[in-house]
Structures are given as structure tokens and as C-alpha cells.
Amino acid sequence: MMAGKRHLLAPGPTPVPEAARLVMARELIHHRGPEFKVIFEEVRARLQWIFETESDVLSLTCSGTGAFEAAMINFTRRDSTIVSIGGGKFGERWAEVARAYGMKVVEVPVTWGESVTPDALAAVLESTPEVAMVTVSASETSTGAWHPIEALAQVVRDHSEALFAVDGITAVGVQPIPMDAWGIDVLVSGSQKAFGVPPGLAFVAASERAWERYAQSDHPRYYFDLGRERDAQRRQQTAFTPAISVILALNEALKLMEEEGREALYARHERNARAARAGVEALGLQLFARSPANSVTAALVPESVSGKAVVRAMRESYGVTIAGGQGDYADRLVRIGHIGFFDGSDMLIAMSALERALADQGLDIPFGSGVAAVQGVLGAAGRVG
């Protein structure tokens, strides 16, 4: 293991900005005191801003999977039918949660690396009566694919009375996913992605339609009772002990996002994503997703190369942490994250390390070709940062 500077370019967790790190080093405050209430009120308002919703955005002390589970058991019934859009590990996780609670699941099959089509969803809904919820992961982190969320929301409205629940864990704060404007009923996210703070918080926002279903739900729940949580959070409290330090850090990160502005935030993520895609293609790698998200670039390595070995070499020899593939693609994919507080210089570092790691695996890599492609995108945009 090399000593020296480390660079975290995984699709989560992501680097924590200095302002957020510093606030976590302060003396701990009491979560039932007046100081916390003031900060939490700011957090709640800023979360509504980035979710683009008038609904409450509830903060839960758990991982994103906890938000999946909370959404499922608060807005459905035990005998509900769930339509789950697959296409990757996280899209398929919605189905796993529903089955764990004994619900019927109808899957919309999607080949990994592909994005679901609105017609495919419409066909399933037309043949499946009384659907309670349609689920999807907007930015499928395991494959790098983006699903057409706005069009899917319209299909759900046109073909059923179902709620539309979206995993926005690597979408919120990365590219536009306006909850209210697009008619999303449930939108979840997590602290360790675009928000750039440590793992420990998940967020759930629900529409009025969803809250009407809450009153009808018969699932057992206690810690994940979102009605109890909403009542508490409207008083600038949490129902149970929160991750206090992470909430303080989140407020600082949200301030940075506000200062940058939503459009600039989305533009920066889009620019970094284009740069990463250009770089890997210049190195002869194939993009895995046909319709790539702006959160992570997933690329297939040649069959003669081990994706795991490339990831290991980048980390151990060159100090750059990216992610490998998952499932059947565990040794075939490399995934470069560009979600969070990254700029163009981070893409240059990642591409330089990737060039060297691929060369270490025996590929004939013209050094500088990937970096030059990244520079071309950044230069065309008129900036590196």
C-alpha cells in the first residue's frame, strides 16, 4: 500500500468538504436543545429546495436502504402488488424489500446497462391490476444508467392509481429530478452521495397522495413510522436520536450547494460526467450504460483484463479509489464516481491513474490519451474547476 495523498472517486461515499468536516469536529450539541432546532429547521428547508418539493423531506438515521424500507411499509399494505423496475442491483433492491414483507412483486425486466422504456412499463401496468406502487432507481449506480423518470411518472399516472417511488440516492443534487413538477410520489436519497457528508442519514419525501395511503397501511412499524417522524420533524425535532454531527455537516454542505445554485450544480456534474466518459472511451474502454447517468461512469474492461485488478492497482499503486462492478459484472466493470463536490481536476487525476493501472495489466495504453480527452471536454467548457 502506497503512502501519500489519497483520492476518493467512488460513487459513494464521496469526499467531505472542509466546512462540513470542521463542523463535525466541534463540541457535540444536544439534539433536544434550542441550537439543534435552529439548525434542523435550516436543514429541512434546504432539503426541500434541492428535492424541489413543498412536501416535508424527512431525515432518518440509517442508510439509503432504510429509506427504501420506510417508503415501502408506510405507503403500501401487506396485500399490495408492487411493480418493480429492475436493471441493476439497486433497482432490484426495491423488489427484495417488498418480498421481505410478503408483498406480491411484478418485475419489469431490464437488461443491466439498459434503461427501461416507458412502453415497457405501460405494458406491465396494463396487464397488472390494482398496483399499489411502482418503484425505480433513477440513477442505477451499479450500471451507470439513467432511467427516464419524467416519462415514467407520466406512464404511472396514465395507467394506474399506483404511487411512483423513486430511488434518488445518486440522482438528487446531480441532475434535475424535480419531485413536484414531475409527479413523483416518494423520493429518497442519502447523505454520502451528492451531499458529500458521511453515511448515516437517509431522506424520504412523500406527496399528499402518498400520505393518504399512509393512513391505510397495515404494515407493522415502529422506528420507521414516518407519520410519527413527520410530526416530530415539524417541531424541528426527530422522533428518535439523530446522527447529530452528520446533520450539522449536512447543513454546511447544503449551504455550499445553495451558494453554487441548482443549475450550476447540475452543469458541473454533467461536465465532469462527459469528461469521464470521453476519457474512458479514448482508452478503448466501452461505456456500459446506453443512457448514462451523471453520477458515475461505468466502463467495461477488455476480457483479457481483470476489473478487480485495475481497481486494486489504482488504489494501492496510485492512490485513487474507484469502484468495481457488481453481480455478474464484478470483474468486468470499473466505475468512476463524479458525484458530489468534484471538479475537473479530479477527473484528470482519475484518468491518469486509470491509464497507468490499465498499462499495468498489459494493455498497450498511449499515456496521455485519456487525459487529453478529459482536457478536451473541460477546455470546451471553458474551465477545469
Q: Residue 314 corresponds to which amino acid?
A: M
φ, ψ at 297 (rounded to 5°):
-105, 115
8-state DSSP, 296: E
List binding-site positions for substrate.
Answer: 335
Cβ partners under 8 Å of residue 351, min gap 6: 276, 279, 280, 283, 370, 371, 373, 374
Contact by Cβ (8 Å): 42, 251: yes
Q: Which of 349, 370, 348 is nearest to 358 (CA)?
A: 370
Strand arrangement of the beta sheet that strand 81-85 belongs to? 57-61, 201-206, 186-190, 163-167, 131-137, 81-85, 104-108
Spacing of C-alpha 182 from chain mean position: 18
Extract the C-alpha cell encoding 83: 411493480
Binding residues: 335
- CA 69-73-75 angle, to 5 degrees, is 115
Distance CA 291, CA 174 (A): 15
Those residues whose C-beta lies under 8 Å from the C-beta of residue 134, and which sit 6 or more positions away, are 82, 83, 84, 85, 121, 125, 152, 156, 160, 162, 163, 164, 165
3-state secondary structure of 309: helix
223 closest CA partner among 89, 73, 346 = 73
Taking residue 188's Cβ as centre, other Cβ atoms within 10 Å add up to 28
Distance of alpha carbon 2 from alpha carbon 81, whole angstroms = 51
| CA–CA dist 339, 48 (Å, integer) | 20
* Residue for grid cell 424527512: 58
* Cβ atoms of residues 267 and 365 within 8 Å: no
Instruction: List helix spans (H) across 234-306.
Output: 244-260, 262-282
